[in-house]
Structure 1
Amino acid sequence: MNLYPINAGNFKLDGGAMFGVVPKSLWQRTNPADANNMIDIAARCLLIEDGNRLILIDNGMGDKQSSKFFGYYHPWGNDTLDSSLKKHGFHKDDVTDVFLTHLHFDHCGGSIKWNSQKTGYETAFKNAHFWSNKNHWQWATQPNIRERASFLKENILPMEESGQLKFTALPDTDLLKNSALGFDIFFANGHTDKQMIPMINYKGKTICFMADLLPTVGHLPLPYVMGYDTRPLLTLDEKEKFLNLAADNNFYLFLEHDAHNEIITVKHTEKGVRLANIFTTNDIFN
């Protein structure tokens, strides 16, 4: 098995929204804001090369939305999904499976592109299955008012229309062992219903793709919960459970949204679970 970081692009989000009720005087210590209160955010995806399968976990915003839409998110840097795949010797057509932690636009927008005439949409990964789960799919296609702006039908419905959509099994608890893609999945419901956190066994290490359960290093303290989360008290419980598990077992936490820290480990302290070490993907994957 080989792992590759895939940067689908960087953008900015409002720091207050990213940290909910936590005062700026506290969160800006780890996530400094610009003059507009925006903080740096990454769309760091993960590519798994395992035998005949090439599995991409999440794929960023894509590039089909309007300039007005992207203007809200202040893209920065030169990384794109295509250029990052090419850097590692791959193309979208090589991908066999696209695993989507959840269907918010900044995680799945790269799944779908305009057709050549710009009259409709088609899948960007023509040879891949797209993986979600039945509960989250229903949640995303029949969205509540609060999340409606994050679930864009043009990002979601063409997956089903193409015939390329598949669903993972749903566990009786919060952990699905040895899923159809070969890794364990932790299910978390605080951010959105049935978000999936992949846990990959790699050379004796457990690599956990943290998605929006732990967006950045700055979100390690339990009360530091995003304003975007639909059930923040549930996020508290899920974070506590997962971070204790990570500290007990020395999991390596792959941070999708932290623009400046790629992988971390955590440890138990008197204040709760806190940062132990920071690694680059080169440190762990090479």
Structure 2
Amino acid sequence: MKIYPIESGNFKLDGGAMFGVVPKSIWNKTNPADANNLIDLAARCLLIEDGNKLILVDTGMGNKQSEKFFGYYSLWGSHNLDKSLAHYGFHRDDITDVFLTHLHFDHSGGAIQWNKDRTGYEPAFKNAKYWTNQNHWEWATNPNPREKASFLKENLLPMQEAGQLHFINRKENNYLENSELGFDILFVDGHTEKQMLPIFKYKNQTLAYCADLLATAGHIPIPYVMGYDTRPLLTVSEKEYFLNRAANENWLLLLEHDAHNEIITVQNTEKGVRLNEILKYEDIL
């Protein structure tokens, strides 16, 4: 197995929304805000090369939305998905599987693109199976008012219409070992219904892709929960389980949204689980 970080682009969001009830005087120390109260964020996807499979985990926002839409998110930097794939010698047509942790636009937008004459939409990875789970698909395609703006039909329905949509065969519990894609999956429900976190062995270490359960290194303290979460108290208990296990078993945590920290480890302290090391992908590849 080989893994590669795929930088699909950087954006900004309101720091208060990202940290919920945590005061700015606290979160600003780890995630400094600009004059508009916005903090730096990444859409750092993950590419897993395993045998005949080339699996892309999440796809970023993509580029098909309007200038007005992207204006809300203060895009910055020069990263994009195609350039990042090419850096490692790959093209989007090489992707065999697209694994979507969940279907919010900043994770699934790059999965769908305009068709050639811009009259409609089509899958951006024409040779790939697109993976979600049935619970989350139903949640996303019949959205609640709180999340409706994050679940965009143009990001979702074309993968079904093209016949490329597949559901992970989830068991009754929230930890699935050895999924169809070869890695374990932790299902978490605090941020949104049945978000999926890939967990796998790499060079005798356990790696976990954190998606939106742990947005940045600044979110490590258990009560630091995003204002975007639909069930914040559930996120608290899910983080407690996840971070305690990560500390006890020395997991490497791959951060999707932290623009400045790619990988971290955590440790148990008198104050609870806290940051241990900060690493880069080049340190483990």
- TM bucket, shorter chain: over 0.9
Q: Which consecutive residues of structure 1, in runs of 5 or more, have no partner in the other structure?
A: none
1:239-268: per-residue Cα shift (whole Å, max 9, x none)? 000000101100000000000000000000
Q: What CA RMSD, in Å, does the superposition of the two structures yield over aligned residues? A: 0.5
* TM-score for the superposition, normalised by structure 2: 0.99
Which residue identity does 1:250 align to in structure 2?
A: N
Corresponding position: 1:283 with 2:268: no
2:140 counterpart SS class: helix
Give the distance between the partners of 2:20 and 2:266, measured in 1 at CA. Answer: 23
2:84 counterpart SS class: helix
2:170 equivalent in structure 1:
170
Which residue identity does 1:11 align to in structure 2?
A: F
Q: Post-superposition shift, 1:199?
A: 0.2
Q: Which consecutive residues of structure 2, in runs of 5 or more, have no partner in the other structure?
A: none
Corresponding position: 1:188 with 2:191: no
2:48 equivalent in structure 1:
48
1:211-270: per-residue Cα shift (whole Å, max 9, x none)? 000000000001110000000000000000000010110000000000000000000001
1:243 equivalent in structure 2:
243
Q: Post-superposition shift, 1:171?
A: 2.3
1:156-194: per-residue Cα shift (whole Å, max 9, x none)? 010100000101011222100000000000000000000
Give the distance between the partners of 1:48 and 1:170, measured in 2 at CA. Answer: 21
Which residue identity does 1:43 align to in structure 2?
A: A
* TM-score for the superposition, normalised by structure 1: 0.99
Q: Which runs of 4+ in 1 moved over 6 A?
A: none
Give the distance between the partners of 1:52 and 1:209, measured in 2 at CA. Answer: 21
Which residue identity does 1:117 align to in structure 2?
A: D
1:159 equivalent in structure 2:
159
Which residue identity does 2:277 align to in structure 1?
A: N
Which residue identity does 2:4 align to in structure 1?
A: Y
Matched residue pairs, number? 285
Give the distance between the partners of 1:171 and 1:239, measured in 2 at CA. Answer: 21
Corresponding position: 1:107 with 2:107: yes
Which residue identity does 1:163 align to in structure 2?
A: G
